[in-house]
């Protein structure tokens, strides 16, 4: 049975609160070259109002606030503890143009046409109601606004949906990784067209368990090779392909 959206969100909030502000998380997830390229998608305009959706430990939001003192930045997430820590850190860093908020994981608590750009890095695959989230992004985005996305995608060589089965075993509110083509088509339904794209990758290790071993042993080699999967000393290492793209409104 498909889990209820609110249970998925609760599981994600709990798992990420324990992980986001750890050294292990930042070592695996930081990528300054990718961050630079994502931020370069932003038009240079004064007085921008920017949303970092699924901000986590504020990796994108803090950098936006730091680089663009004239902009007003909002970091939104479901993980209350991480958001409280972000508020503390932003105060220590004397970032006056940023605020962080917690929300229900579905409805963006903002009026229509608020944001000049919405960023979402590594969050899409956790949204239990992706279509509602995209409708919410569309509602809160200004007419000429941009949506700047980075997310892990399923490889076209992964016929057995290995990566989604693998990620579900972590029980951190994983919902679904799409292929790049699927993502572009879903965004198009909301009038959001891909303007520019680049690829990056994210490599991580995870302690193995019987469940992981069983899954790996029953998955065909090309699917495992698509993620450069290797195992050694009780750990599994794999590399996720990352889709980075900027979308603009069809009517813009």
Ligand X SMILES: C[S@@+](CC[C@H](N)C(=O)[O-])C[C@H]1O[C@@H](n2cnc3c(N)ncnc32)[C@H](O)[C@@H]1O
Contacts with ligand X by CB under 6 A lie at: 9, 12-13, 16, 20, 29, 54-56, 59-60, 77-79, 105, 121-123, 126-127, 173
Question: Closest CB to ligand X among 20 and 177?
Answer: 20
Shortest Å, Cβ 68 to ligand X: 18
Shortest Å, Cβ 240 to ligand X: 11
Question: Closest CB to ligand X among 219 and 240?
Answer: 240
**CB-CB contact of 179 with 151 (8 Å):** no
Shortest Å, Cβ 17 to ligand X: 8
Question: Closest CB to ligand X among 173 and 245?
Answer: 173
Shortest Å, Cβ 107 to ligand X: 10
How far, in Å, are 23, 97, 205, 227 from residue 231 at the CA level? 23, 45, 9, 12
Please name the residues in contact with 160: beta carbons below 8 A apart, sequence gap of 6 or more: 219, 220, 223
- CA–CA separation, 91 and 3 (whole Å): 38
Shortest Å, Cβ 242 to ligand X: 11
- CA–CA separation, 14 and 148 (whole Å): 26
Contacts 24+ apart (CB under 8 A), 108-113: 108/51, 108/53, 108/76, 108/136, 108/137, 108/139, 108/140, 109/76, 110/51, 110/74, 110/140, 111/140, 112/139, 112/140, 113/140, 113/141, 113/142, 113/143
Question: Closest CB to ligand X among 22 and 218?
Answer: 22
Shortest Å, Cβ 233 to ligand X: 25
Structure letter (DSSP) for residue 177 = P
- CA–CA separation, 78 and 101 (whole Å): 8
Shortest Å, Cβ 251 to ligand X: 26
Residue nearest to ligand X (CB): 56
H-helix or E-strand spanning residue 193 = strand 192-207
């Amino acid at each position: 049975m498909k889990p209820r959206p609110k249970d998925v969100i609760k599981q994600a909030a709990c798992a990420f609160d324990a992980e986001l502000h750890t050294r292990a998380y930042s070592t695996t997830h930081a990528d300054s070259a990718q961050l630079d390229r994502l931020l370069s998608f932003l038009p240079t305009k004064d007085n921008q109002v920017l949303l970092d959706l699924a901000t986590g430990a504020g990796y994108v939001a803090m950098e936006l606030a730091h680089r663009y003192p004239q902009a007003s930045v909002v970091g939104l997430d479901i993980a209350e503890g991480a958001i409280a820590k972000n508020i503390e850190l932003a105060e220590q860093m004397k970032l006056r143009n940023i605020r962080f908020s917690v929300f229900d994981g579905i409805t963006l608590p903002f009026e229509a046409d608020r944001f000049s750009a919405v960023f979402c890095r590594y969050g899409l695959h956790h949204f239990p109601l992706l279509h509602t989230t995209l409708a919410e992004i569309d509602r809160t985005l200004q007419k000429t606004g941009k949506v700047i996305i980075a997310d892990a995608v399923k490889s076209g060589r992964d016929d057995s949906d290995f990566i989604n089965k693998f990620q579900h075993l972590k029980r951190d509110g994983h919902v679904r990784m799409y292929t790049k083509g699927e993502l572009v088509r879903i965004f198009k339904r909301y009038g959001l067209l891909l303007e520019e794209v680049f690829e990056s990758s994210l490599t991580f290790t995870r302690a193995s368990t019987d469940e992981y071993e069983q899954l790996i042993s029953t998955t065909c080699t090309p699917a495992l090779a698509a993620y450069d999967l290797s195992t050694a000393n009780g750990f599994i290492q794999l590399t996720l392909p990352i889709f980075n793209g900027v979308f603009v409104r069809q009517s813009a």
